[in-house]
Structures are given as structure tokens and as C-alpha cells.
Amino acid sequence: MARTRRTWAVVGAGSLVAAGLIAAAPTAAQASTVVNFTTVGPATWTVPAGVTSVDVVAIGGSGATGGGGSGGAGGSGAQVTATMTVTAGQSLAVFVGGGATAGTSAGGGSSSVNAGTVGNQIIAGGGGGGGDAAGAGGSGGG
């Protein structure tokens, strides 16, 4: 029986959507589908029948510029990737972190995937740091 690989992405709203479309090229025996989560907040994804692994790209939201928009730039959200073994019917909790509002010096939100519950985190891309009047914010961590 051929193994089916489903490829999907978790994308922080403050990040470039195109960055979430990274997908591994499937072999001839594999089919590949991309599922993007771009709405900020929680979502649930149930693994379809026949799927045994997923490639995940989690991207944290970008940090905000500081000082009413005249301060340093916000940092980029981190991008992390993983290949996970899954079973049909398994429920994955997805959280998409948002980008921070310009001029607030706030950090961006992290994007993550959990195996069914928030306490069972599999992967997370940290949000970027907020800029301030003295300089730019740092990039998020993975």
C-alpha cells in the first residue's frame, strides 16, 4: 500500500503567506496536499484516512515597530519545520500567532501545533520582538 503524505502549514498572520507554502516534493508513490492556516487564533485539524505523516511549517507573527511608528522595526517571526508521524483520525490543535500592531512596540504571537491538547506541543515558531525608540526588535526563536 502506498503511503500518503499530507503537507500543510501554520502561518502567522504577520508573516508573508508565501513563506508558508514550503512543501517537500513527494515521491511517485506519495500524494501531497497543502493546507494553510492563516486566520489568527486556534483551529483543529483531523488527520484524514491514509495519511501517515505531515510536514509542518510554523511561522510566528512579526513584531511591531516602536514609538508610534517612528521607532525601530519589529523583528521577524521564527520559521520552524518538522515532519511528524500521524495516524488517521488524530486531532491536532493548531494556533496561528498574529503580527503585532504597528507603533505599539509589541511582540508578535507564536504559531504552534499540539497533539490534541495545548499541553502536548509538537512544534512552535516564536513571534518577533517589538521595536522601540532605541532600535529594532529581535527575531523570534524556534
Which residue pairs from 79-82 have beta carbons closer than 8 angstroms and sit at least 24 positions apart in sequence?
A: 79/15, 79/19, 79/125, 79/142, 80/123, 80/124, 80/125, 80/142, 81/22, 81/55, 81/56, 81/57, 81/123, 82/55, 82/56, 82/122, 82/123
Among 73, 51, 47, which Cα is nearest to 62's? Answer: 73
* pLDDT of res. 6: 45
Q: Is the pLDDT of residue 37 over 70?
A: yes
User: pLDDT by residue (tens digit) across 80-96?
Assistant: 888 888 889 998 888 89
